[in-house]
Chain A
Amino acid sequence: MFQVRIHGRGGQGVVTAAEMLSVAAFDEGRHAQAFPSFGSERTGAPVVAFCRIDDREIRLREPIMAPDALIIQDPTLLHQVDCFAGLKPDGYILINTTKTFEQLGLADFIARHRAERLCTVPATELALKHVGRPVPNVPLLGGFAAVSGILKLESVLKAIEERFAGKVAAGNIAAAREAYEIVRAEMEESAHA
């Protein structure tokens, strides 16, 4: 079983991202379970959502406490919430930021993890460029397909088409594609480093 935890803020499409991830996995014929961390959500407040992916039925209903991967939609959360809690030692991290891990003050943290599994992508900028709104959730899914390799980019794009229509779908697909390419390039760079 592969477990993903998504951190973001109310209004950034955290719950939608987890749902779309599960739809992408479902489209690949796999079992997936997406659910929010339920609270009194409001715009700007820290929000968490979860997604489990497996090749057999998922019966487990506990929250994800030891994730295989983290998607962090808002880097300002790093100073407010323990986003990395329980992350597996060889886990994946994808952060929406224009900065590097070092610039985010995470140099010590990344020294203990596998560099090629730690990526950043400017998802808010990509969303503004392609969709016209600062909603980073969908481009991050494109980046996540690249860094984790758990899902095909095509499945993510299909999930986008199922969720959105017209220009919004087209914009999000372009943003997810570009995020995928950026993360791929980043991974190659760290593999050669």
Chain B
Amino acid sequence: MLKQIEGSRAVAEAVALCRPEVICAYPISPQTHIVEGLGEMVKSGELQGCEFINVESEFAAMSVAIGSSAAGARSYTATASQGLLFMAEAVFNAAGLGLPIVMTVANRAIGAPINIWNDHSDSLSMRDCGWLQLFAETNQEALDLHIQAFRLAEELSLPVMVCMDGFILTHAVERVDMPTQAQVDTYLPPYEPRQVLDPNEPVSIGAMVGPEAFMEVRYLAHAKQLQALERIPQLAAEFGQQFGRDSGGLIRTYRCDDAETVVIAMGSVLGTIKDTVDALRQPENGGLKIGVLGIVSFRPFPHEAIAAALKRCKRFVVLEKSLAVGSGGIVATDVRMAVTGMGLQGHTVIAGLGGRAITVKSLAALFEKACAGQLELTTFLDLDWKAVNKQLEREKAVRRSGPIAENLLRDAGVVAARNY
């Protein structure tokens, strides 16, 4: 059924259709509306057979999810930013134990400086935690990915993060096609655990493993992610057949057939990039041969699929909402590994950190430069160099130059945050 609703509400309804049995969460922006919505549905009786557990922290949220999942219950939670960092130890444990928890991460920057706006720093800080990470381009895809995530998680016995851009998607009211309970029930069978804490057949989960077997257990975690590389496209195809729309998969290409330059990104910015690419392909704008590659599955990372999609291009531009401080791009590093030996020119663009708007105007100028072969190796999109240099000068001139964040706000004369 078509509905005009907030992204968070759409995800809450989709998660409810997946018949979760335990939901435990601690509120943090911009994720809060999702679990609020689910809490209301449990309380009203709309979502039956589900226990909503209020916890005192994100660490407790993931710990409860680990317990309930190990006891055989379909378990869900959601978080963002500092909340994800606070639960980090349990996040690694959930993956290491092979528990098929599904978690929404409403992507938001990480402090300091404290910032509630969107970028991908939070999910990507958990890059190597062993969870699968799927990134949604639209609210429709966000809700669809949750349905696929439970199926994928439970088949492989691995936890899945569904990542959606905080505010940009979670707080956007737009059209979604909400499936029926019957449709979701057909796609997603009841949870059949591979391992379960059952008093009738006692087992322990979470043994200490020494050097004699630790590497093998870790390799098996890696092998499972490689299995996911096979299953993700299959489950997306099955979803497409049953629900009648494309959602999920490893990657998605757009106008790449004759593209000499391919822009690679994750999440909602792909929409703005596609609009920009359409404009630049118009003959009056130079008719640039440029295409787009959206990464849906960041973990497992689809090296082969990306290499195949880039086979015919000359160069690629990875535009990412994340920064490996002291190195460069996070996504770009993985993409470069995927294209090893292909002789492509690669560029990294760091953009949209902490909610900095990514505009068609800036993208168009950036892509024109890239297509002309004039883009630097690494670019910080719309960085205010004047502000940066002023602070650097200040640090050279005065030993007690003061806190950087406060200095930059004072220089900018900021009264209230704005992004338009």
Chain A residues engaging chain B, CB cutoff 8 angstroms: 5, 18-19, 22-23, 26-27, 31-40, 45-46, 48, 50, 58-65, 85
Contact = CB atoms under 8 A, between A and B. Distances in A.
Nearest to B166: A38
14 contacts: A19-B173, A22-B4, A23-B4, A35-B167, A40-B116, A40-B417, A45-B416, A48-B420, A60-B272, A61-B269, A62-B357, A63-B420, A65-B420, A85-B420
A179 to B, nearest CB: 22
B150 interface: no
B271 A46 contact: no
A39 B272 CA distance: 22
Interface in B165-185: 167-168, 171-175
B355 interface: yes
Interface residues of B, number: 31
A61 B174 contact: no
B268 interface: yes
Contacts of A50: 420
Given A34-B172, A59-B271, A61-B272, 8 more contacts: A23-B173, A26-B2, A26-B4, A31-B175, A38-B117, A39-B417, A46-B416, A61-B271
Contacts of B358: 61-62
A5 B138 CA distance: 22
B274 interface: yes
Which of B4, B167, B417, B419: most chain A Cβ within 10 A? B4
Interface string B407-420: 00000000011111
B234 to A, nearest CB: 27
A37 B418 contact: yes
A31 B416 CA distance: 31
Contacts of B117: 38
Contact of B174 (A32, A48, A62): A32
A40 B6 CA distance: 19
A22 B172 CA distance: 10
B257 interface: no
A60 B174 contact: no
Contacts of B172: 33-35
Contact of A26 (B168, B175, B355): B175
B178 to A, nearest CB: 13
A85 B418 CA distance: 13
Contact of B359 (A36, A45, A65): A65
Contact of B268 (A5, A26, A34, A61): A61
B419 A38 contact: yes
Nearest to B419: A63
A24 to B, nearest CB: 9
A37 B419 contact: yes
